[in-house]
């Protein structure tokens, strides 16, 4: 099962990769997106539509131990699914891990927030926006 499905304004469809690491976001055709459906689980999805642009961001850390980068390890933290309309961005953060020692966020929690365009990730802009139906 793909992690997301995009329906374009011409009614054609693009399916994302089957894993978060291989999302295929950069492979999306340069066509206007009508709807982005992101699959949270087999029976739950997050749907974004009617935005000027869409974005998908994976927040991860990586640690490198040993000589010349041996023992590479990557830890995924959150997925951000974003839609921009004008100068505002609606961002949904999906937690991939819980915060150790904190009851604030748990794996699978979805947090919605609205921010100014250009400050959508930790107060900074993001890249790889895909055009919507402007």
Q: What is the pLDDT of residues 73-108, one digit of tens each?
A: 667 788 899 999 999 999 999 888 766 555 677 777
Question: What is the per-residue pLDDT for 49?
Answer: 96
Q: How many C-beta neighbours within 10 Å does residue 107 have?
A: 10
Question: What is the per-residue pLDDT for 98?
Answer: 66
Q: Are residues 134 and 32 in contact, defined by beta-carbon separation less than 8 angstroms? A: yes
Of 133, 134, 130, nearest to 30 by C-alpha is: 130
Strands 73-85 and 110-116: unpaired
In the chain, the number of structural domains is: 1
pLDDT at residue 27 greater than cutoff 90: yes
Domain of residue 97, residue span:
4-131
Question: What is the per-residue pLDDT for 107?
Answer: 77
Tokens of 10: 């011409």
pTM: 0.83
pLDDT at residue 4 greater than cutoff 70: yes
């Amino acid at each position: 099962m793909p992690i997301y499905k995009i329906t374009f304004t011409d009614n054609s469809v693009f399916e994302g990769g089957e894993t978060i690491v291989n999302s295929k976001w950069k492979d999306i055709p340069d066509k206007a997106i009508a709807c982005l459906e992101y699959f949270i689980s087999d029976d739950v999805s997050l749907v974004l539509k009617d935005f000027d642009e869409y974005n998908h961001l994976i927040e991860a850390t990586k640690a490198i131990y040993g000589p010349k980068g041996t023992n590479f390890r990557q830890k995924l933290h959150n997925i951000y699914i974003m839609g921009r309309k004008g100068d505002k961005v609606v961002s949904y953060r999906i937690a991939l891990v819980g915060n150790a020692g904190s009851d604030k966020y748990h794996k699978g929690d979805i947090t919605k927030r609205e921010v100014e365009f250009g400050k959508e990730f930790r107060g900074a802009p993001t890249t790889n926006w895909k055009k919507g139906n402007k």
